[in-house]
Chains A and B, each alone.
Chain A
C-alpha cells in the first residue's frame, strides 16, 4: 500500500475543505487553468502531496470530480489544476470567477515513485490533457534539478492552439538542463517553429538513452499509449520503469465507492500511477 494518508479532515475523509480560486484563465478553447488556495491558512500550509496524486474538487449544486494536481509540492501553498470542460462539475467550475469558493479533498492516489526515480534519467512523454499530472513531475524535477540526471520532455498536441501550457513549454526550451521537444500533428498557424508530426516522431531526436537508468513517465489520450509504448520498448526501457497514470471514474478517491475498480484493484488507492508491467498483468487496465 503506497497511499500515505494526509487528510484535510481526518475524521471524515468525505468532508470537502473550502478553497478559494486565486487565478483562473483559459489555456486552450476548452481547457482552463485554476490556481486555488485552501481557505484555512494553516491547512493550506500543512497540505502535503506527491507528484502524480489527484484531488477531488466540488462545486455546490453540481457535485464532485477527480482532478490531477498540476502544481509541484516543491512550491507549497497554492494548488494548480488544468481542467477540460467535460461534464457537470467542470461546466460549473468554468462558470466560477476568481475569488469564488470551491471544495477540495485529498490528496489521493499513489503518485509517482519519486524516490526511485531520483538519480536516474527522466523521460516524460505527454499529449493532450496528459500534461495535467506530468507538469507536476516536470516542475518537480526542474525545482530539484540536481537530484535527477537527464530530464527529457516530449510533448505532442494536435495543433499549436491545442497545446496546453504552450508558452510555458516554449519558454522551457531556453533551459540548458532540459531536453525539450514539442510537436504538433498539424500547424494551422504557419507560425509554429517546432516539430510537425505525431509525438513518436520526436523519439529519434533523443540520443544515447541509457535504458537501465531511465524512468519514462507517460500520460495522454488512449490512442497515444499504444505507439509511445512501442517506442519505449524499442529503447529497451524495462517495463517496470515505464510509468503511466490512468483515468477512471473516481467518485470517492478513498477506496469506498467502487467506481474505479479494475479486476480486483482500486485505482484510487493502488493507482492512478501504474507500471507498464502492471498494465500487461491486469487485463482491464487499458
Chain B
C-alpha cells in the first residue's frame, strides 16, 4: 500500500475536482439531531468533526425503500434507479468494516445485484475518527482498516496521511497529483505513532468480545432475556441504525386502475412483532425476548454460520439510539456478569413501572 501526504488546505480543491461528474456524499450536521450522510452541493456543509451518523452508510447502497421492478402482466422490468456513481467521503473505520460484512453477505451463494451494482459504483474515501464513550470498535477490532477503501485520510492536525487502497483510488490521486506530497518525513511518522497511541488510550468502553459466543450459549435461558423482552418496545430502531443489519421485506404495490405493480423493497427488523410469521399466521418468535435473542446471537455470537464471526463492528449506534438502553454494551456487560447497576436500577424504576 502506498501512503502520501495532503496538506489540509488542499482537501476541498481535491474533492472539488474529483466530484465534478460524480455525486459526493459526506457527513453533514443536522440541527438538533446529529450527523447524516448527505449529498453535498456546498463544501462548507461538510463536517468532519463527527463521531457517528444517525443512519449508517448502508442507506446509500440500499435505501430504506426502493423499487426492484416495474411489473406488468407478463413482464418484470428491473429498476436500478437507486444506483448512480457516487463518492462517499468521511466514512469511519467501523462503517468500512460494516460494508465489508455486507459485501460478503450480499455475495454469499447468490449475488444481490441491487447491492453490488450500487457498491461497484461508489468510491469509498475513509476518514480517521476519535472515540466517544459509546465507541466499542477497539473491542471488536474494527478501529483500524486495512482494506475496503479506495482512499483513507488520517487526520494529523495540519495535514492528512492518505492511504491508497485500490487502483481506483490511485486514479483519483492522479487526477490532481500536484496537490499531494510523495515525501513522508520522519516527523510525520512520529506524529502518526503519537496519534495512534493517544487514540488507543481514548477508548472508554470495553467489551470482552471473545467471551461472548460462549456466554450467549451458556445464558441462552437466563432470565435476563425475559427482563429485556419486557422492556423492549419492539420499535426496530436498533436494527435500522446498525450498519450490519440487512433484513428487508418486499411489497407488491399495485398501481390504481392498471394491470401493473411496483415491487418495493424496504428495510425490515427482526425486532418487530410480525417478523417471523409464516403463511397461515403462525409466528415462530412471538415473544420479544426471543427476537432480542436472535438479534444478539447475530451481533455477539455468530452471523450466518458460514461467516462464523460476530457482526458487531462497535459503532455505538444502538447505544446512542435505543430508548430503553438495550444495546450491545449493556447486554454484553450483563452477560459478562456485571450487574451494570445503574442500568438495571433505572430499568426497573422507569421502564418496568
Contact = CB atoms under 8 A, between A and B. Distances in A.
Interface of A: 1, 3, 5, 7, 11-16, 18, 39, 58, 60-65, 84, 86-87, 89-90, 101, 103, 247-249, 251-252, 254-259, 261, 263-266, 269-270, 283-284
Contacts of A247: 278
A16 B263 CA distance: 11
A63 B278 contact: no
Interface of B: 68-69, 71-76, 78, 105-106, 108-114, 220, 246-252, 254, 259-261, 268, 270, 275-281, 284-285, 290, 294, 297-298, 301-306
B279 A90 contact: yes
A254 B76 contact: no
Contacts of B249: 251, 257, 259
Contacts of B290: 284
A63 B252 contact: yes
B246 A256 contact: yes
Contact of A61 (B109, B254, B270): B254
A7 B111 CA distance: 11
A255 B108 contact: yes
Given A15-B78, A257-B247, A249 B276 contact: yes
B243 to A, nearest CB: 15
Contacts of B248: 251, 256-258
Given A13-B110, A90-B279, A249-B278, A264 B297 contact: yes
A171 B301 CA distance: 51
Given A86-B279, A249-B276, A264-B303, A257 B250 contact: yes
A11 B76 CA distance: 14
Given A60-B254, A249-B279, A263-B294, 13 more contacts: A12-B113, A18-B75, A60-B261, A61-B261, A63-B250, A65-B279, A249-B276, A255-B110, A257-B247, A258-B247, A259-B276, A264-B302, A284-B285
A125 B112 CA distance: 37
A40 B280 CA distance: 32
B301 A258 contact: no
Contact of A103 (B76, B78, B259, B284): B76
Contacts of A16: 76
B239 to A, nearest CB: 10
Nearest to A92: B252
A252 B250 contact: yes
A63 B112 contact: no
A226 B246 CA distance: 34
A280 to B, nearest CB: 14
A258 B246 contact: yes
Contact of B294 (A84, A87, A261): A261
Contact of A266 (B268, B278, B280, B304): B304
Q: Which 9 A-B pairs have the closest CB atoms?
A: A258-B247, A86-B280, A254-B110, A61-B254, A63-B252, A264-B302, A87-B279, A86-B279, A13-B110
Given A3-B109, A5-B110, A87-B280, A60 B304 contact: no
Contacts of B302: 264
B76 A15 contact: yes
19 contacts: A3-B109, A14-B68, A18-B75, A60-B252, A62-B252, A103-B76, A248-B276, A254-B112, A255-B109, A256-B110, A257-B249, A257-B250, A257-B268, A258-B248, A261-B298, A263-B294, A264-B301, A266-B304, A283-B220
B247 A60 contact: no
B247 to A, nearest CB: 3
B74 A18 contact: yes
A277 B297 CA distance: 20
B297 A64 contact: no
Q: Which residue, A11, A62, A263, A270, has most C-beta atoms of chain B within 10 A?
A: A263
